[in-house]
Amino acid sequence: MGKYFGTDGFRGEANVKLTVEHAFKVGRFLGYYFGKEHKARIVIGKDTRRSSYMFEYALAAGLTASGADAYLLHVTTTPSVSYVVRTEEFDCGIMISASHNPFYDNGIKIINAMGHKMSADVEQLIEAYIDGKTEELPLATRENIGRTVDYAMGRNRYIGHLISTATRSFKDKKVGLDCSNGSASSIAKSVFDALGAKTYVINAEPDGTNINMNCGSTHIEVLQKFVIEKGLDVGFAYDGDADRCIAIDDEGHIVDGDLIMYVCGKYMHENGKLNNDTVVTTVMSNFGLYLALDKAGIRYEKTAVGDKYVYENMMKNGHSIGGEQSGHIIFSQLATTGDGILTSLKIMEVMLEKKTSLSELIKPVTIYPQLLVNVKVQDKTAAEQDEDVQAAVKAVEEALGNTGRILVRESGTEPLLRVMVEAETDEICHKYVYQVVDVLKAKGHAVEGK
């Protein structure tokens, strides 16, 4: 990771860690970098955070000052930016969002012309420019100054693309959508309505400060209660920029990314559409998923945490589905990034084609208890490499043996060390997670009261 750009872009508290000056300079550099041989065309999307409008204007000012044309999708999803970039020949795309973070954070995600996350090499060049380590860039003048273009039509084309992926009508299906007061608010309902569903929507009234607040995929209990109370067939919850999805089945069970990969992967396997008979997961996926995949005759591969690494593996090896437990699911034949709304549609496809409920589709999977504790620390690397912390982790590994596992890793976007234990019972998980967390606190790595 670089100084500013982590695993998911440049992210931090708006006008504290990520400032309007940073955004202007990102725009300046991208306009210059992609405009060396032609007039650059760069598309911008944003989520519903109050600061997203400020950053949109700052980025557009930087781009046009360098001579690029800035095309504004307005409030939209991250996967829609990826789709528009790769299908409409833009030089790159920018998404303004901090995903599942609270409203006062924001982020800048840069997407290359292929719809993938921008390479680290280009991000390093941007960082050098931000820090004044390179020469000042020339300003465009006269007719060479760039334009801003209202490009809402790009978002509409993406909506059409989503609708076209459905294989059957959703007529008479009662579907709940939790839009997290975020990007999905402008897209999800129109897609499900167009496909004939009886759509019940919650948390689709963004006010700039309520994105992800007690709603969406990170507060799945809200949708869970709604689905049960309304007697819905299924529910889907998205995060702030709608690149992830968590589902609720007809019985109120939580269907996370692992279960989604099982349901969709098995269906693709049965229909000869699972390339290499392989599902790509991260190291955070549950033992239960792997046992169920083994029983179904499906192979799997594991990557580091991050949909970026999942997608890299999929592209390198030609796999067709992969994702994360958190709900980032990638269908490589249709998208280059996690897409929460597309994931919803693929789950609906399985339910409709197999004429069965989501609760039946997940029954073959027994999920092992898992406890993840996020510890806010002063220095992630120092905390993880502390000899006493490593000794505590090794002791847990030896105690669990073949009956579970422990995983300690740094967050790619926040000052957190994540401690996860998976074992046969909740009690065992709790015991061994806090055996490590207590050492982190005792050694002074944890920031207390945060």
| Contact of 406 with 432, CB cutoff 8 Å | yes
Phi, psi of 112 (to 5 degrees): -80, 180
Tell me which of 82, 97, 99, 183 is the catalytic residue.
Answer: 99
Tell me if 239 is assigned to a ligand binding site.
yes
Under 8 Å between Cβ of 384 and 442 = no
- To the question of whether residue 99 is assigned a binding role by annotation, the answer is yes
What DSSP assignment string belongs to 220-283? THHHHHHHHHHT-SEEEEE-TTS--EEEE-TTS-EE-HHHHHHHHHHHHHHTT-SGGGEEEEET
* b (16+ CB within 10 A) / e for 383-422: bbebeebeebbeebeeebeeebbbebbbbbbbbbbbbbbb
Q: Is 243 annotated as a binding residue?
A: yes
Which of 85, 98, 5 has the alpha carbon at shortest distance from 55?
Answer: 98
Alpha carbons 52 and 443: distance in angstroms, whole number: 39
Report the alpha-carbon distance of residue 337 to residue 332 in Å, rounded: 8
Please indicate if the annotation marks 121 as binding a ligand: no
Tell which residue, 447, 378, 418, 414, has the closest CA to residue 6. 414
Which residues are within 8 A (CB) of 296 and not within 5 positions of it... i.e. 6 or more apart? 262, 266, 269, 364
Give alpha helix (H) positions in 149-218: 152-164, 188-194
SS3 call for 372: strand
Whether 80 is a known active-site residue: answer no
| Annotated binding-site residue numbers for Mg(2+) | 99, 239, 241, 243
Active site positions, annotated: 99
| Annotated binding-site residue numbers | 99, 239, 241, 243
